């Protein structure tokens, strides 16, 4: 069998929402395993249940039925505060619209998750944040405030924030959705670099092109898995970036 | 999150919205300043009344004729004439806790010298009166027991009388003034005491031997009152009891008879004045405290707005691992920081106003230390109390909805 470590394991996960008198089945029995070091894209059209699945994976929500193990820990019966702790230690979020704190420097933004971890003192916090920013190539922008940065830079700060707690999995929600083509590729290059370093990444998107750069692609439709395929021909985002027409300076 | 980090986050949030934070603080600033000033005025008045009454002697006892019937009971005029020479002598010889005593007879009238005149009150007293009422003879000397025996036509005059009758600064000692129709030789001038708290000029007095006043001015055989000084302030109550027994014996009252005299201590009078002042202070402070309540509601309002505005931030914090408690603490600390900062500024403003009150208005005001401490405590309570609902609102947010809030 597979000797790799399982980071995420879903077993017949269902999630129903009661809207008025109707029950909406957002997830209708999802089962999969994600192993350490995978770069998985989860795709699907609007209404396919990918946001609901992301909330489950991110421990922001719990399944109506089924089992979800994150790094071997069962999430379904956890209380709010326990899930908050789990998010703090095991998950790094990257959002579509960056969600940086306004008027706050890059390094302070990256420190944020560690503020809720009493094992870090202020010095350790800063060291970890600086390291994470260096890892995303922003070592020279530590004290820049969020409103003094470009979209790509802000997203890289957000990625650094997702890395800083050394999470079991990085969850990206349309992380390139707000960026232009060039910047999108720059961010993808970064994700591929993290993947190469052995990080587990789940990238939720509706953009089919991105699947070419990941190692595995799961497609959702109507709350069920329609397709789950390994990608044996991973394209290099760096090459794609180089192939783009040079930015026009005028 | 640790308290230090929470404080840092709170300060940052407050500084990010300087104008708004200051405006919500303003209510607290004004409220606390008002409370402090009101308390300072109350305390200042109390202290100045106390000081005032102390200048008349804190161990002072006043015996008046008539039973202790306040509130409009019609009296037989003879009941007001019960204090006689025999009572005075009995007190002098028998009272154990009384240091000094003086009968008192007063009459008002006009004092005249040359073309100058003034309306004043002539107090007929014994020489001990000067020390009982803590007067000081500034120049000249006091009259003696000898003068009392002879009903000598000598007097001491207060500063106001000096100024009115001797406007050109002549030395009044040895001059003869006329009070009503009787000439008095001025043998001493009293050191000024100024106005008392009721606006009465304490220096508008003429003091003469009581025998002189009784025989020559008012033609009466009874005293208006007898003033005594107890041995010490602490012995005042014992002295009152002792004096009661002496006077009952001297008045030959039966066991069943009520006292036909009343003894009042300065202490009692001071207590009455203080409690009146306390009541007024409480009313003023309660009025000022209402503005604090309004300020608290202002803080709650602004915190509710702030929570809604920062929904996304709350969602983000939750998604990176903040528990509901962390979020609620964050907003509580923020509202407490606003109210306590307002409190500090309010105390400073209150101090400034109190100082202005003393310096420019000339009204005595003293800030009681405990009022500062209470103000701080109240500010913390306001911060927690009015910050609680917004903090709970923030803590209960669903991170999924909060993070996508636009």
A93/B399 CB distance under 8 A:
no
CA of B334 to nearest chain A CA: how many angstroms apart? 17
pLDDT (0 to 100) of residue B271: 80
Q: Got the DSSP string for chain A?
A: ---SPEEEEEEEEEEEEEETTEEEEEEEEEEEEEETT-EEEEEE-TTSSHHHHHHHHTTSS--SEEEEEETTEE-TT--HHHHHHHHHHHEEEE-TT--PPTT-BHHHHHHHHHHT-TT--HHHHHHHHHHHHHHTT-TT-TT-BGGGS-HHHHHHHHHHHHHTT--SEEEEESTTTTS-HHHHHHHHHHHHHHHHTT--EEEEES-GGGGGGSSEEEEEETTEEEEEEE-SSPPPHHHHHHHSPPPPP-
Using CA atoms, how far apart are residues A213 and A99, in angstroms rounded to an integer? 25
Nearest CA of chain A to the CA of B400: how many Å? Answer: 6
Asked which of A87-101, B61-75, B80-94, B129-143 is least confident by mean pLDDT, the reply is: B61-75
CA–CA distance, B265 with B232 (Å, rounded to integer): 12
* Chain A CB contacts of B403 below 8 Å: 95, 99
CB A204 within 8 A of CB A216: no
Instruction: Tell me the chain B residues in contact with residue A115 when contact means C-beta distances shorter than 8 Å.
Output: 1, 5
Nearest residue on chain B to A104, alpha-carbon basis: B12
Nearest-by-Cβ selection for B321 from A55, A61, A88: A88
What is the distance between the alpha carbons of residues B212 and B146, in angstroms, rounded to a whole number?
12
Q: Which residue from B315, B322, B403 is facing A116, i.e. has the nearest CB?
A: B322
The verdict on a CB contact (< 8 Å) between B5 and A115 is yes
Picking from B1, B312, B400, the nearest residue to A116 by CB comes out as B1
Per the DSSP assignment, residues forming a β-bridge with B107 are B122
- Residue B232, helix vs strand vs coil: coil
Q: Is B150 inside a domain boundary?
A: yes
CA distance B305 to chain A (A): 17
Asked if A81's CB is within 8 angstroms of B322's CB, the reply is no
Q: CB–CB of B324/A81 below 8 Å?
A: yes
Per-residue confidence (pLDDT) for residue B76, from 0 to 100: 64
Which residue, B192, B226, B260, sits at the end of a domain?
B226
- pLDDT value of position B232: 85
Confidence of residue B77 (pLDDT cuts 50, 70, 90): low
Tell me the per-residue pLDDT of B227-257, one tens digit each, with 9 for 90 and over. Answer: 999 888 888 888 999 999 999 988 888 888 8
Element (H, E) at B184: strand B182-190
Q: How many percent of chain A have pLDDT more than 90?
A: 74
DSSP class of residue B357? I
For the stretch A173-214, pLDDT in tens is: 988 888 998 999 999 999 999 999 999 999 999 888 899 999
Percentage of chain B with pLDDT > 70? Answer: 96
Q: Answer whether residue B207 is part of any domain.
A: yes
**Set of chain A residues whose Cβ sits within 8 Å of the Cβ of B395:** none
Q: Do B321 and A102 touch (CB under 8 A)?
A: no
- Nearest CA distance, B27 vs chain A (angstrom): 27
Could you tell me if B121 and B203 lie in one domain?
yes
Residue A13 has pLDDT above 70, yes or no: yes
pLDDT reported for residue A165: 92
With CB atoms and an 8 Å threshold, state whether A115 touches B319. Answer: no
Tens of pLDDT along B359-382?
Answer: 888 788 888 898 889 888 889 999
Give the domain extent around B362. Answer: 3-52+272-403
Which DSSP string do the residues of B82-93 spell out, in sequence order?
---HHHHHHHHH
Average the pLDDT over B177-197 and give the result.
88
Q: Please state the ipTM of this predicted complex.
A: 0.92
Can you give the pLDDT at residue A112? 94
DSSP-H helix ranges across B151-265: 159-165, 210-212, 236-250
B300 and B355 part of one domain: yes
pLDDT reading at B197 higher than 70: no
Question: DSSP character for B250?
Answer: H
The pTM for the full model equals 0.74
CB–CB contact A60 B320 (8 Å): no
pLDDT bin (cut points 50, 70, 90) of residue B149 is very high
| Helix, strand, coil percent values for chain B (each to nearest 5) | 55, 15, 25
**pLDDT at residue B70 greater than cutoff 60:** no
**Nearest partner of B273 among B39, B49, B48, judged by Cα:** B49
Partners of residue B5 in chain A, C-beta under 8 Å = 115
Length of chain A: 250
Sorting pLDDT into bands at 50, 70 and 90, what band is B386? very high
> How distant is the Cα of A60 from the closest Cα of chain B, in angstroms?
6
pLDDT digits (tens, 9 = 90+) for A122-172: 899 999 999 999 999 999 999 999 889 999 999 999 999 999 999 999 999
Q: In the structure encoding, which two tokens stand for residue A73, read together? A: 């820990």
The stretch B327-351 carries a mean pLDDT of 94
Q: Which of B316, B324, B397 is the best residue to mutate to test the A interface, defined by the most A CB atoms within 10 Å of its own CB? A: B316
Residues B26 and B114 grouped into a single domain: no
Which residues of chain A lie closer than 8 angstroms to B322, CB-CB? 84, 88, 116
Residue B348 belongs to a domain: yes
pLDDT of residue B176: 93
- CA A128 to chain B, closest CA, distance in angstroms equals 15
> Between A81, A89, A104, which is nearest B323 by CB?
A81
What DSSP designation does B396 have? T
DSSP A4-50: SPEEEEEEEEEEEEEETTEEEEEEEEEEEEEETT-EEEEEE-TTSSH
Res B193: pLDDT: 83
Sign, CA torsion A239/A241/A243/A246: negative
Q: Do A87 and B2 touch (CB under 8 A)?
A: no
Write out the DSSP string of B20-55.
HHHHHHHHHHHHHHHHHHHHHHHHHHHHHHHHHHHT
Interface of B with A in 11-70 (CB under 8 A): 12, 16
Q: Which of the residue ranges B50-59, B215-224, B289-298 would you say has the lowest mean pLDDT?
A: B50-59
| Largest distance between two CA atoms of chain B | 105
pLDDT for residue A84 is more than 90: yes
Distance CA B194, CA B69 (A): 32
Measured between beta carbons, which residues in chain A are less than 8 angstroms from residue B12?
103-104
* Total number of domains constituting chain B: 2
Kindly state the average pLDDT of the residues B256-273.
Answer: 83
Predicted pLDDT of residue B260: 85
One domain, residues B216 and B160: yes
Whose tokens are 């470590």? That residue is A5
Q: Identify all chain B residues contacting A103, using CB atoms and an 8 Å cutoff.
A: 12, 16
Beta bridge partners of residue A33, listed in sequence order: A9
Kindly state the average pLDDT of the residues B72-101.
Answer: 82
Domain range list for chain A: 38-63+85-243
Helices and strands (H, E) in chain B, number of each type: 13, 10
Report pLDDT for B392: 95
Assess if residue B32 is contained within a domain: yes
The yes-or-no verdict on residue A2 having pLDDT over 80 is: no
Specify if B377 maps to a domain. Answer: yes
Q: What band does B127 get if pLDDT is binned at 50, 70 and 90? A: very high
- Separation between Cα atoms, residue A87 and residue A62, nearest integer Å: 13
Q: CB pairs below 8 Å between A and B: how many?
A: 60
Give, to the nearest 10 degrees, the angle between helix B369-395 and helix B324-356.
Answer: 150
| In chain A, % of residues over pLDDT 70 | 98
The reported pLDDT for the residue numbered A1 is: 52
Residues of chain A positioned with their CB less than 8 A from the CB of B402: none
Please report the pLDDT score of residue B68 as a whole number. Answer: 61
Res. B75: pLDDT tops 80: no
Residues B195 and B296 reside in one and the same domain: no
Give the distance from residue A85's alpha carbon to the nearest chain B alpha carbon, in angstroms.
Answer: 5
In A, what residues contact B, Cβ < 8 A?
A: 55, 58, 60-61, 80-81, 84-85, 87-89, 93, 95, 99, 101-104, 112-113, 115-118, 161, 165
Using CA coordinates, name the residue in chain B closest to A97: B404
User: Is residue B93 in a domain?
Assistant: no
**Per the CB < 8 Å rule, is A80 touching B322?**
no
Q: Do A116 and B319 touch (CB under 8 A)?
A: no
Contacts of A104 in chain B (CB under 8 A): 12
Q: Please report whether residue B160 resides in a domain.
A: yes
* Fold for the domain defined by A38-63+85-243: Rossmann fold (3.40.50)
Nearest C-alpha of chain B: how many angstroms from A64? 16
E-assigned strand segments in B261-395: 261-265
CA B1 to CA A118: how far, in whole Å?
7
Percent of chain B residues past pLDDT 90, beyond the cut: 50
The two three-digit tokens of residue B80, written as one number: 């007001």
In angstroms, what separates the C-alpha of B291 from chain A's closest C-alpha?
34
């Amino acid at each position: 069998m597979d000797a790799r470590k399982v980071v995420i394991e879903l077993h017949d996960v269902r999630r129903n929402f009661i809207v008025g008198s109707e029950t909406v089945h957002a997830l209708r029995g999802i089962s999969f395993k994600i192993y350490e070091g995978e770069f998985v894209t989860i795709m699907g059209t609007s209404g396919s249940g990918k946001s609901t699945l992301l909330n489950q994976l991110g421990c922001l929500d719990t399944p109506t039925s089924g089992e979800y193990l994150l790094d071997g820990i069962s999430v379904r019966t956890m209380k709010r505060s326990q899930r908050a702790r789990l998010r703090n230690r095991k998950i790094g979020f990257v959002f579509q619209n960056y969600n940086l704190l306004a008027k706050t420097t890059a390094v302070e933004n990256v420190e944020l998750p560690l503020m809720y971890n009493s094992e870090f003192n202020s010095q350790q916090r800063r060291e970890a944040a600086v390291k994470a920013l260096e890892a995303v190539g922003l070592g020279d922008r530590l004290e820049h405030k969020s409103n003094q940065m470009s979209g790509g830079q802000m997203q890289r700060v957000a990625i650094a924030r997702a890395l800083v707690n050394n999470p079991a999995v990085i969850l990206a929600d349309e992380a390139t959705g707000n960026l232009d083509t060039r910047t999108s590729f720059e961010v993808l290059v970064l994700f591929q670099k993290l993947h190469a370093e052995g990080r587990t990444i789940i990238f939720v998107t509706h953009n089919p092109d991105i699947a070419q750069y990941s190692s595995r692609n799961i497609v959702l439709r109507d709350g069920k898995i329609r397709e789950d395929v390994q990608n044996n021909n991973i394209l290099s985002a760096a090459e794609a970036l180089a192939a783009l027409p040079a930015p026009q300076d005028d | 999150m640790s308290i230090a980090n929470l404080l840092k986050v709170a300060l940052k949030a407050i500084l990010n919205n300087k104008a708004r934070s200051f405006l919500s603080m303003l209510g607290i600033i004004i409220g606390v300043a008002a409370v402090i000033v009101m308390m300072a005025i109350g305390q200042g008045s109390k202290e100045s009344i106390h000081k005032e009454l102390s200048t008349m002697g804190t161990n002072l006892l006043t015996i008046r004729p008539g039973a202790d019937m306040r509130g409009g009971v019609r009296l037989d005029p003879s009941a007001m004439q019960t204090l006689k020479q025999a009572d005075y002598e009995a007190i002098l010889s028998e009272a154990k806790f009384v240091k000094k005593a003086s009968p008192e007879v007063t009459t008002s009238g006009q004092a005249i010298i040359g073309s100058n005149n003034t309306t004043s009150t002539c107090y007929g007293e014994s020489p001990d009166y000067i020390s009982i009422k803590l007067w000081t003879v500034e120049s000249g000397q006091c009259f003696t027991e000898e003068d009392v025996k002879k009903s000598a036509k000598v007097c001491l005059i207060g500063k106001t009388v000096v100024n009115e009758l001797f406007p050109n600064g002549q030395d009044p000692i040895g001059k003869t003034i006329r009070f009503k129709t009787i000439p008095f030789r001025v043998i001493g001038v009293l050191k000024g005491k100024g106005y008392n708290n009721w606006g009465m000029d304490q220096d508008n007095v003429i003091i003469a031997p009581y025998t002189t006043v009784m025989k020559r001015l008012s033609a009466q055989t009874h005293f208006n009152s007898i003033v005594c000084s107890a041995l010490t302030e602490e012995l005042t109550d014992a002295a009152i009891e002792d004096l009661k027994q002496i006077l009952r014996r001297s008045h030959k009252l039966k066991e069943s008879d009520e006292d036909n005299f009343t003894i009042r201590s300065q202490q009692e009078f001071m207590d009455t004045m203080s409690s009146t002042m306390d009541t007024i202070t409480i009313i003023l402070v309660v009025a000022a405290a209402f503005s604090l309540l309004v300020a608290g509601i202002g803080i709650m309002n602004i915190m509710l707005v702030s929570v809604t505005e920062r929904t996304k931030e709350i969602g983000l914090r939750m998604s990176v691992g903040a528990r509901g408690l962390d979020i609620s603490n964050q907003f509580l600390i923020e509202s407490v920081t606003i109210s306590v900062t307002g409190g500090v500024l309010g105390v400073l403003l209150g101090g400034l106003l109190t100082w202005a009150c003393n310096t420019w208005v000339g009204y005595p005001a003293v800030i009681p230390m405990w009022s500062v401490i209470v103000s701080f405590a109240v500010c913390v309570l306001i911060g927690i109390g009015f910050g609680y609902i917004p903090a709970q609102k923030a803590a209960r947010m669903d991170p999924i909805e909060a993070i996508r809030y636009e």
